[in-house]
Structure 1
C-alpha cells in the first residue's frame, strides 16, 4: 500500500509540469536517450568504516553492504576532512555538494543561503549532462533541495528530534527507561514510520517510475541512520546480545585531551553516555549502533531489489558511503569531533558496469571524491573549482596512485588539525600546543602516542611542515607556526 502510494506520487511528479516548465511529454517523449549511465549515491550518517561486517567487523550484520564489497570496488581508506562546528555532517555534505574543500565549502554555503552559486552544485552539474536529478532524506545543506534537484522526496532534518531520555545513559544495568524500539520517544519514529523506511520508500518509488523515463537519472539518497538517537525495531536489537559485544581496544573512561580539543562534556554527542565512561554503557551504545545499522542495511536491500526489478541495474553505478565516522566509545569518546580514524574514516564502495568485483583500493582518498567521480561518469568536464578527484583511474588501474599529498583534517577554527601521510598521523591541539603522533602501520588502532619518543622528533617536524603546506592549500588561516617553533 505505502509503496503503491509513493509510486503514484512519483509518477504524478513526472506527469505534472516541473519547475522549469517541462511537461511529461517533454520529459519522456523528448527526453534524450543519451546512453549515459544512471548514478545512485546512497549516503548514511555517522557510520564508521568499522561498522561493516565484510570490512573486518565480525560483530555487525550487514549482508547488503557486504554484497557491495564483493560485487564492487571498496576504498578502504576514505576520509572526511572534518568540520567547522560540532555538526560534522554539515561540512561534509557542503563539501560533497559544492566540490570545495572544508573552508571554501563553508564560504560557499553562505552564498547558497542567498540562492547564489546554485548552478555550480553537484545536481545542477549533472543536469547539464541531461540527467534527471532526485533527492530524498537527510539534507543539512544551506541550498534548498527544490532549487537544485528536479525532483525531491521527503527532506529530513539534520537529526531526528531527540529526547532527554536518550542522554547520559545507561547509568547501570538497572537503567531501562530508554528502549530503541519505544515509539513514544519520537526520534526516528516521529511521524509513525521509521525514517530509514521512509527514505527507502521514496527511493523505491522513484526507481519504480524509471520505466517511463528516458533521461538518465542521478539519485541522492541520504539516510540519517545510524546517527543517534540510535533507534530500531526490537528484532534488530535482539540480534546483538550484550555478551557478544566486545569493548573496543581503545576503550578508556575519559579522554585526557577532550577539553582542549573541543570535545568536552558540554558537546552534545559526548553527553550520550555517562562520565566517566563505563564498559557497560559503551557496549549498550554499540548494541544500538549495530541494530540501527542492520535495519539500514535491510532498507538498502529493498532499494537494490527495486533497481534490479526496474531493469536499470546493468546501466547504473551505485556509490555507498557515509559523511563521517563515529567513536561510539573508542578513546573515551562518543562523537565524531576528533581526528581518529574511527571518526574521520568511512566505508566507500562503488558497484556498476565494468567495476572490478571484490577489489580493495587502499590509497588515501576523500569521500567527497564521489562527486568528481560521478561527474566523470556522466561526461561532465570537472570545473576548476572542484577540488576533489575522480576515482575511476584508481578503480580501473591497480598501479595508479591517489593524487593527494597527504590527508588533511580539521575541527573548528582552532581546536584540532591533522595530517595523515607516509604511514603516520600527526594530530595537533592548537589551544594547548599538544601534539600526538601515531605509527599507523604498527598501530592502526592509534593506541600508542609516540610523540614523546626522542627518535621521532624529526618525523614530527617533517609532518608538521607538510601540515602547514596543506593548510595553505586548503585556505586554512590558523597560524600553527608558533607551535612549530617550539618543537
Structure 2
C-alpha cells in the first residue's frame, strides 16, 4: 500500500496509568482532548508496558525489543549500540526526528572514552534524535526560563516543586494532605506548558517539510504537586479508593519481595517534605495524592489541546499520525505502594492511542498489545520495512478496523529488574546475587503468573480476584495451573530470543532467510 509521507507526532506522558482516562470510563478523570483523539483514532484498552522503570520501558518502546533482548533493564543499564531504533529507521525515509523532553537512554560505554560526561547519567538521548529541547532531572532549560521571569529558583532538579505558602491561597486546607498545596509557579509557567510552547515554536517554522517530533512530558510523574487551578480540580472524597489488602501486614504476607518493597518506598521520592515510608500515609493522604495525580493528567491534556489546536490551525493535523502513550503506570496507593515497582497491574497497564489520518479509525480494541508494537506500527504506516530485531507487531490492521489475526498474542509479559549498584535496598535484604534480581509478570486473560529468578512464584486468578490480592501459587489445587503458565512463559521466552540474525542462513547462493 503506497502511503504519503506524513508527519509523525510521538507523545509520551511519564507514569500514566491505563485506567485513568475519560475515554476508558474513569469515574472522575477529565481528559477531553485525549478523549477526542481516541474517538478520532484507535484506543487500545489492554496495552501493557514491557518493563519498568522509565529507561528499560522506553528502550522497548523505541527499539521494538523485549527487555530480555535489549538488556537495558534498569535506569542506567547501557543500551547496546548495535540495535537500531525508531529514530534511526525514520532517518532512512528522510525524516529528521526531533526530541522535546527525554528518552532516558543509557549509551553503550564501549563507544565512549573514559571520563566522558555521558557516563555520569542514565539520561542520555537515543541515537538518531536531534535535540530540540533536552530535559533531564535537573530541568535546567525550564528553570532558566523561570529564573528569567523572576522566580526564586533554588537550584537545578526537583527543588522547584515546593508548595506555595498557605498565605498565598486562602482556599488551602491543611486537612487535604501533603500534596494539595499548589506549586509556586503558575500553570502558564509550568514545565508542561513551557515544553508544549517549545514544540509549537519549532513546528511553526516547519514549513511543508514533513516532521517527526517526539514530545516527552515529565508529568504526571512525581513530584506530586500541581499548579493553580489544577491543584484543586478534584475532590479527594470523590476519587476511587486504593485497592489493597485489609491490613499492611496482610499485604506484606503475600510475598517476601513485596514485604521488602513496602519497607523501602519512601515519601520523599514522591513529594517535597515527605518524611517516612509511603505506607505511613493515611488513606486521606492517598486520596489527595490521587486527586493531585489526576490534576497533572488534566494539565497534560489541556496542553495537548493547545498543541492539537495549533496543528489544526496550521493545516498540519490532517497529515499527522499521532501516537500517545507512556512508559509505565503508577500504583497510586494500590497495595500500599507508590511508584511503578513490582508486578501489579497498576505499574504496567498503560494507555495507547493511535490516530492515523489515512485510517477510518478502529474504535476501541480489547486485545493485548505491548509497548514493543509501537515502533513496528509507525514504520508500517510509513511504508518502511520492520527490522528483524523487532519483537513487536504492527497494529496497523486495527487502525483500519480489521479484526485481530488468528495468531494474535493471548498474553503480555512485563519485566522488573531490582538490582542496583548504588542502592541495593531490595537486593540486599533478600540475599540475592545481581543476576537473581528479576521478575517476569505473565498476564493472560484469566491467569497472571509472576516468575522470580530466585524467589517463589505468584499466581492470581484475575476472574475471581481482579485486584491481585490472593496468591494461589502455594495452593496444591492450583499447581497444574501454575505449571501450565510457567511452561507457556518459557515457550514465549524461547520464541522471542533476540532475532536480528537468527533467521538468516549462509550457504550456497549466499544469504537465505528461514521461513
- The TM-score range, normalised by the shorter chain, is 0.7 to 0.9
Q: Secondary structure at the match of 2:229?
A: helix
CA distance in 2, matches of 1:441, 1:389: 27
Other-structure match for 2:129: 149
CA distance in 2, matches of 1:175, 1:376: 48
Other-structure match for 1:183: 184
Other-structure match for 2:343: 339
Aligned 8 A contact 1:231 1:288 in 2: yes
CA distance in 1, matches of 2:73, 2:37: 33
Q: 1:121 aligns with which of 82, 85, 89?
A: 85
Q: 1:409 to 1:162 in 2, by over 3 A?
A: same
Q: 1:399 to 1:107 in 2, by over 3 A?
A: closer
Counterparts of residues 401-420 of structure 1 (less than 5 Å): 401=406, 403-404=408-409, 406-412=411-417, 413=435, 414-420=437-443
Aligned 8 A contact 2:323 2:353 in 1: yes
CA distance in 2, matches of 1:110, 1:322: 16
Other-structure match for 1:62: 31
| Number of positions where the alignment pairs a residue of Structure 1 with one of Structure 2 | 425
CA distance in 1, matches of 2:351, 2:406: 19
Aligned 8 A contact 2:177 2:285 in 1: no
Residues 192-230 of structure 1: CA deviation (Å, up to 9, x unaligned) = 9321112211221232223x233x221111001100002
> 55-64 vs 248-257, which deviates more?
248-257
CA distance in 2, matches of 1:109, 1:281: 30
> 272-281 vs 36-45, which deviates more?
272-281
Counterparts of residues 302-381 of structure 1 (less than 5 Å): 302-357=306-361, 359-381=363-385
Query: Which sections of structure 2, spanning at least 5 residues, go unmatched?
Result: 108-123, 140-156, 164-172, 271-276, 418-434, 499-515
Q: 2:261 aligns with which of 260, 263, 275?
A: 263
Aligned 8 A contact 2:200 2:307 in 1: yes
Query: Which sections of structure 1, spanning at least 5 residues, go unmatched?
Result: 1-33, 477-487
Q: 1:441 to 1:357 in 2, by over 3 A?
A: farther
Other-structure match for 2:70: 105
Q: Secondary structure at the match of 2:11?
A: strand
Other-structure match for 2:199: 203
> 287-296 vs 401-410, which deviates more?
401-410
Q: Secondary structure at the match of 2:364?
A: strand
TM-score in terms of structure 2 length = 0.74
CA distance in 2, matches of 1:450, 1:80: 24
Other-structure match for 1:140: 104
CA distance in 2, matches of 1:49, 1:245: 16
CA distance in 2, matches of 1:293, 1:36: 31
Other-structure match for 2:426: none
- Cα displacement (A) at 1:279: 0.9
CA distance in 1, matches of 2:178, 2:267: 20
Q: 1:90 to 1:399 in 2, by over 3 A?
A: closer
Aligned alpha-carbon RMSD (Å): 3.3
Other-structure match for 1:49: 18
Q: Secondary structure at the match of 2:341?
A: coil
1:162 correspondence with 2:158: yes
CA distance in 1, matches of 2:352, 2:412: 16
